[in-house]
Chains A and B, each alone.
Chain A
Amino acid sequence: MKGFPKYYTLPQKLGLHGLRLSAWLALAFLMIPILVIIPLSFNAEPYFTFTEGMLALDPDAYSLKWYAQILADDKWILAIKNSFYIGILATLIATVLGTTAAVGLSNPVMPLQRIIMAILLSPMIVPLIITAAGMFFFYSQLNMAGSYLGVIIAHAALGTPFVIITVNAALAGFDYSLVRASMGLGARPLYTFIKVVMPLIRPGVISGALFAFITSFDEVVLILFLAGPEQRTIPRQMFSGLREQINPTILAVATLLIISSSLMLFTMEYLRARGERIRSGQL
């Protein structure tokens, strides 16, 4: 939008300048809070603010001690292990169930398609606090509160809608004559699924799995209600840290999470671009 056409009137130019300014302000509003955390996590003092030494770029004002403290604290180590353990198992369940269901749902002969879709997507719409309350009542009747199994099932249920949506999108441009061709050439249904359908929808399945993993990895409301001290995850540990004693270790963890979410974002964008190329037949 550089350089306006000559025939633009002054109010038009002002309007466009104003638009550009407000867009950049909005981007600053989105990014600054996240960027502020990163330098603060190297603070040598146990505060959440920039010290004078930090502003003067004094190397003594910076330290890595909060990062060292994460590794020294058994609670954080357990939380990191739990986050991956629960996240990976919940993702596996969500991806397997979600992908097969999406394949069935995309079939035009599927009965009651709309209603079933609404039911399967409902975990995404109901507020987490309500889901948490319901699961808490239900699990305490079954004596499953405070168990890994309970938390994993709960997170898997939250993750499935994302898998259904992404796999459905990947299947939207799917050419069913490929399946017929494969079967016509004598391949069995399972073989066809693995060798013909799967490679084409793989980007959708992987991005669905990533969504499901992020959902579990970032989830804290269900953990607050359903998990015991044994199942504390990273966000749960951050939550109690922010409530009880605010300490820059949380900022160090936050910085690590920002780095991992950046990696995740780039993976996701790569997959999306790849999926588009597959659909347009360039690969």
Chain B
Amino acid sequence: MRQGEFDALLRGHAGLLSRIAASYEADAALRDDLLQDIALALWQALPRWRGEAPLKAFVARIAHNRGATHVVGQMRRSPGGALSEQLVDLKHGPDEYTQQEQRRRRLQDAVRGLPLGLRQAVTLALEGFSHAEIAAALGIRVNNVAVRLNRAKGALAAALGEGA
């Protein structure tokens, strides 16, 4: 793969990659490291892509796989599930931007607190993937996707304090 093509691919999927990385790592510096690992994994994997799945799904799959292995070793550091105190304190932010930022971070924390299987399905659902696309990207059955998303919805609503 030429450097130009790889750059274009990274630019085209910058948002998707950033959000998937954020679903695995809260710390900004470690998230940068994870993004670097994801980009390297993409560089190595892309020559094997034959167009059997949409490029976006392929990229998401590689990113999730790298994210899953990143979680190994980080488990003791991040308890998962609990919202950080800083975010709770931001609840009374002065303007709309702060509130939006707070909602975004609360959602990130809630997603990171989900078990791995649910988290992967949820991040793809939030990216607008259909059930069939999620099933293809994660290598599971479509029925299983529906079950996971249903369970994840309850867990997310509870973590966000919205009630299922």
Do A and B assemble together? no
